[in-house]
Chains A and B, each alone.
Chain A
Amino acid sequence: MTDIRYLAPGTLDEAIRAFAAGGSAARILAGGTDLLVQMRAGSVKPGLIVDIKKIAEMSAIEETADGGFRIGAAVPGAVLAEHPRFGQVWPGVLEAVNLIGSTQVQGRASAGGNLCNGSPAGDSVPAMVAAGAVVTLQGPNGRRELPVEKVPAGPGRTNLLPGEILVSFALPPRSKGSSDAYLRMIPRTEMDIAVVGVGVSLTLKDGVCTAARVGLGAVAPTVLLVEAAAKALIGSKLDDAALNAAAAACSAACRPIDDKRGTIVYRTKIAGVLLRRTAGIAARRAREN
């Protein structure tokens, strides 16, 4: 008695045609770990489900010619973890993606779904932002690229144009002495939505931080790129003063809410604590590269 339709196109063009034709009632299905929950709760009632997992580009992990990576939007976290090199180059992005849900959820959940779900607390996003990922979108008007931090528009919303589908994430080549890390605060040890999430990517040369990016999640309507925190780290030896300044910048950037997962006061404090810890881990890893 339902009037839902399901399609599993084999090419991106077919997917875009069907998705665009489906209008506002159409939804993309990758891992389904958000969509099916929302459908069961009644908060989303799709007229058309477009399953993108048969599209080669969406499910591929590629090392690009310039030494970067291109990850298809539908690649499950568990598959990304099995890639021989990705985790060595981007341990922060990988650990962030692998923190989404349980082992079962990891078997299906994708960075693309995590980003497009638009939750400010999505674990993969702060790490992708810190990594400087660039997403490729394709829609009825063609293909375009967008820095990942420009994708979220607010809780549950993205800046994708009608009919656009997220195709892949491009991660830049890494210079020597670079690494990243992601930490989140959750009350249990697993299975919680992040109360605060921090991603830090940095480059060290002779002990001095020459590049840094900080992504901060679950403390604002969208994930934030905290340029002030990065600025505090760049040029420093990541000493306490620099870390404290960066931590303060993260706390200052917070615009959180009080909700069932955390309070404004708590999140603001924790943002700073996590920045220090995350930067420390990224630095330790960077020194080993």
Chain B
Amino acid sequence: MNIITNNKWIGQRTIRPDGADKVTGRAAFAADTNMPGMIWGKILRSPHPHARIRSIDTSKAEALPGVKAVVTSRDIVDFPVDKSVMLGIQDMRWMCRNVMARDKALFPGHPVAAVAATTEAIAAKACELIEVDYEVLPWSIEIDDALKPDAPILHEFIKFEGKPSNIAGKLEVKKGDVAEGFKQAEVIIERSFTTRPVHQGYIEPHACLISVAPDNKTTIWSSSQGQFMVRAMVAYLTGIPQSDIRAIPAEIGGGFGGKTIVYLEPLATLLAKKSGRPVKMVMTREEVMRATGPTSGSKSTVKIGARKDGTIVAAQGTFYLQAGALPGSPIRGAVGCSFSPYDIPNVLSVGYDVLSNRSKVAAYRAPGAPIGAYAVECVMDELAEALKIDPLELRLRNAAKQGTKAAFGPVFPRIGYVETLEAAKTHPHYKAPLKKLQGRGVASGFWFNAGGESSAQVNITEDGNVVVTTGHPDIGGSRAAIANICAELLGIDYRRVSVLIGDTATIGFSNLTGGSRVLFASAMVVTQSTDKIITTLRERAAKIWEIDPEAVKWENGAAHPASPNAGKFEPLTLAELAAKAPQMGGPIGAGVQLNTEGAEGGFGTHICDVEVDIELGIARVIRYTAVQDVGRAIHPGYVEGQMQGGVAQGIGWALNEEYIYNRDGKVDNPGFLDYRMPVCSDLPMLDTVMVEVPNPKHPQGVKGVGEVPLVPVMAAVANAIHNALGQRFYSLPMSPPRVLEAIEAKG
């Protein structure tokens, strides 16, 4: 372990290395670049929620002047449904059917064909000329409808309990014996909850620019959370070998998990290959809302039993999450995370993956965990009320600690959950007075985080500065944190460290930007690379001084004799050693590729105040404090930013965001006007408290921070509204008509 104290750069709010570009409009996002000879791609999408595709006639489109290529599912590599091919957590059987419909269109907006033409207008016109013969089929969207005995089955080959079903999977996690456990309970609260599907809401639509030469050499420039994922998916779906594909990550305008798969890239690659021209494809906001993966809507039932002294004896949760049209809802997050803040002897947590005719869900910030936490943390609040115990105190009495066995498997090492509860309890917010029609709620949450593969290259320039190349798209300021770490280790000014993100040709394999892992993983490999460089620098100084390398230390950007015994020598700076590099053994640099381990989960505890206009049913968040165990805040500004961003998304999910469907099964609000994300005037300042319990398995003590902040929010808001109104909400969003209805029902 290598936790450094008295830091110069770690913990400082330095200016991010990519900052000047971002504030001047220079930063190149995927839609910002052009290539000579570039043409435009557009997608024809199914208008039907569920339809067999009998035939597609593209001849009129192909004949339209200006059209250079047309692609249908015939051009995409098929992955037979009886053989699973996994790429991370994605199954290529579903990916190949998601990027384009094969025999069936499965949701309104499902791509059916794609066209590339010399202008966007011609490409759009060509799409209109494609004739598709659909056999319209019955459809279902909501979980209840998809589970009815006579519900239309989306995929005959998906079986549950031996029969074709819309249940594509089940996950169960068990600890002890809940039946016995509940027998010991003196108070039991059991409630059912529903949530509507919500979208990640990134402001930048998906976009890519792809060029394929006649020898298959492919260059991809795209907005994604993983250039290696892009390369692999495109290789799988087009048949072009990975070694012929160079996937370059553009600056990314938000992802939150939604850009951990591809939608456009395989289609644009095929269009570029067929046409011999670079193809640019940019989604409209409507396409993003209709046809990219939001997260699941859900139905959950949670039952928690406790003794009168507040000890929880048993907990049970059943979580139904929508997968959309193809399998893969995040039941793992709901099932595994929801009870994890607590040390409960008997737990049964079960999740079901439910298919229906809406777009396939994609990851959204701690996928599945916010849905499960909403249910569990609301039941915890009711339990506290029934037991007449303060809600934070109830959590403290049952808090997971080092040594607690989580229901999902591992035994927790040193974790910081209790610290978040204590910090919340003693925070002035918790005791601040409330006025009439104002209320306060608390909630906690947990997310697994992740480690995984990462590569880095650290090279010393001939003039004695540093270039770091890492492998993960920077979605929240990770370059700034890396610069802080590298500068700290080398003992030089952070401005001398340049941090770049490599592409698949210029850096080693690095897994997705997601799972709250970028800084954790990249810091490890950058640290190891930098440590190797420091070893080299010490060796070279030792050679110059003709002493043993053991007698040389590296401090404040220079080699020094380690002790007076080693001899009296003037320090040799990084610049001096760099200048001597050619004569002393060559370039000074190192690269490390690892499957990083030691990532630990994160915990958060939030306090939310709301004020309710009881005549209009409008709840507004008026104060919010998020406390989180962040490991080590390498760059506090960007850690706070992750916390504040997650909170804002959760408030939207709690109060106003939802997918609204019309009678024809189509999304009725595919835009920012009626898909109501929080605007600046909706929110108060969002206070954050970073509790630092360093991760002992990480050289700088880093823990993932990005996803935990979304997990507790909806329950915190719901519990606050309850505190204000005396009314519980078991359904999200708590939009004004629903709040007013509940107020009036109560009388």
Is there a direct interface between A and B, measured as CB atoms under 8 Å apart in the complex?
A: yes
Chain A residues proximal to chain B, CB less than 8 Å: 1-2, 41, 185, 187-193, 195, 260-263, 265-266, 269-270, 273
B615 in contact (CB, < 8 A):
yes
Of the candidates B286, B678, B741, the one whose C-beta lies within 8 Å of that of A188 is: B678
B616 to A273, Cβ gap below 8 A?
yes
**Chain B residue at minimum C-beta to C-beta distance from A270:** B616
B401 in contact (CB, < 8 A):
no
A260 to B682, Cβ gap below 8 A?
no
Other A-B pairs beyond A185-B618, A188-B678, A266-B737, 4, CB < 8 Å:
A187-B655, A187-B735, A193-B673, A193-B674
A256, B674: Cα distance in complex, Å: 18
A263 to B737, Cβ gap below 8 A?
yes
Contacts of B620 in A (CB 8 A): 189
Contacts of B286 in A (CB 8 A): 41
Contacts of A266 in B (CB 8 A): 617, 736-737, 740-741
A188 to B660, Cβ gap below 8 A?
no
Contacts of B615 in A (CB 8 A): 273
A210 to chain B, nearest CB (A): 28
A187, B740: Cα distance in complex, Å: 12
Interface residues on B, range: 20 to 34
A269 to B660, Cβ gap below 8 A?
no
B89 in contact (CB, < 8 A):
no
Known: A260-B660, A270-B616, A273-B615. A189 touches B737 (CB 8 A): no
B674 to A188, Cβ gap below 8 A?
no
B119 to A1, Cβ gap below 8 A?
yes
Known: A1-B122, A2-B121, A188-B682. A261 touches B674 (CB 8 A): yes
A2, B682: Cα distance in complex, Å: 41
B616 to A189, Cβ gap below 8 A?
no
B90 in contact (CB, < 8 A):
no
Cβ-closest 10 pairs across A and B = A266-B737, A189-B681, A260-B660, A273-B615, A260-B668, A189-B682, A190-B681, A191-B679, A188-B682, A260-B669
B388 to chain A, nearest CB (A): 35
Known: A191-B673, A192-B676. A185 touches B737 (CB 8 A): no
B656 in contact (CB, < 8 A):
yes
Of the candidates B660, B672, B736, the one whose C-beta lies within 8 Å of that of A187 is: B736
1/0 per residue, CB under 8 A from A, across B612-633: the answer is: 0001111010000000000000
A-B contact pairs, 13 of them (CB 8 A): A187-B676, A187-B735, A189-B620, A189-B679, A189-B681, A189-B682, A190-B682, A192-B676, A260-B660, A260-B674, A265-B741, A266-B737, A270-B616
Contacts of A2 in B (CB 8 A): 121
B31 to chain A, nearest CB (A): 16
Contacts of A269 in B (CB 8 A): 740
Contacts of A193 in B (CB 8 A): 673-674
Contacts of A41 in B (CB 8 A): 286
B616 to A188, Cβ gap below 8 A?
no
A261, B617: Cα distance in complex, Å: 14
A93 to chain B, nearest CB (A): 22
A41, B286: Cα distance in complex, Å: 9
Contacts of A261 in B (CB 8 A): 674
**Chain B residue at minimum C-beta to C-beta distance from A41:** B286
A195, B615: Cα distance in complex, Å: 14
A182, B674: Cα distance in complex, Å: 22
A19, B615: Cα distance in complex, Å: 47
Contacts of A191 in B (CB 8 A): 672-673, 679
**Chain A residue at minimum C-beta to C-beta distance from B669:** A260
1/0 per residue, CB under 8 A from A, across B671-701: the answer is: 0111010110110000000000000000000
B122 to A190, Cβ gap below 8 A?
no
B196 to chain A, nearest CB (A): 12
A262, B660: Cα distance in complex, Å: 12
B155 to chain A, nearest CB (A): 30
A266, B743: Cα distance in complex, Å: 12
B736 to A1, Cβ gap below 8 A?
no
A270, B656: Cα distance in complex, Å: 18
1/0 per residue, CB under 8 A from A, across B704-740: the answer is: 0000000000000000000000000000000111001
Contacts of B741 in A (CB 8 A): 265-266
Contacts of A195 in B (CB 8 A): 736
A38 to chain B, nearest CB (A): 13
B616 to A1, Cβ gap below 8 A?
no
A266 to chain B, nearest CB (A): 4
A195 to chain B, nearest CB (A): 8
B737 to A188, Cβ gap below 8 A?
no
Which residues of B116-149 have CB atoms within 8 Å of chain A's CB atoms? 119, 121-122, 125
**Chain A residue at minimum C-beta to C-beta distance from B735:** A187
B127 to chain A, nearest CB (A): 12
Contacts of B674 in A (CB 8 A): 193, 260-261
Residue of B119, B616, B618, B741 with most partner-chain A CB within 10 A: B616
1/0 per residue, CB under 8 A from A, across B657-673: the answer is: 00010000000110011
A187, B655: Cα distance in complex, Å: 9
Contacts of B672 in A (CB 8 A): 191
A100, B735: Cα distance in complex, Å: 22
Known: A1-B122, A273-B616. A187 touches B656 (CB 8 A): yes
A193, B674: Cα distance in complex, Å: 8
Known: A1-B122, A188-B656. A262 touches B673 (CB 8 A): no
A201, B672: Cα distance in complex, Å: 33
B633 to chain A, nearest CB (A): 31
A266, B740: Cα distance in complex, Å: 8
B210 to chain A, nearest CB (A): 24
1/0 per residue, CB under 8 A from A, across B533-557: the answer is: 0000000000000000000000000
A187, B616: Cα distance in complex, Å: 9
A190, B682: Cα distance in complex, Å: 8
Contacts of B679 in A (CB 8 A): 188-191
A270, B743: Cα distance in complex, Å: 14
B740 to A188, Cβ gap below 8 A?
no
B592 to chain A, nearest CB (A): 47
A2, B120: Cα distance in complex, Å: 12
B437 to chain A, nearest CB (A): 15
B747 to chain A, nearest CB (A): 15
**Chain A residue at minimum C-beta to C-beta distance from B656:** A187
A219, B347: Cα distance in complex, Å: 50
Contacts of A1 in B (CB 8 A): 119, 121-122, 125
Contacts of A265 in B (CB 8 A): 737, 741
**Chain B residue at minimum C-beta to C-beta distance from A196:** B616
A44, B676: Cα distance in complex, Å: 24
**Chain B residue at minimum C-beta to C-beta distance from A263:** B737
Contacts of A187 in B (CB 8 A): 618, 655-656, 676, 735-736
**Chain A residue at minimum C-beta to C-beta distance from B655:** A187
A265, B744: Cα distance in complex, Å: 12
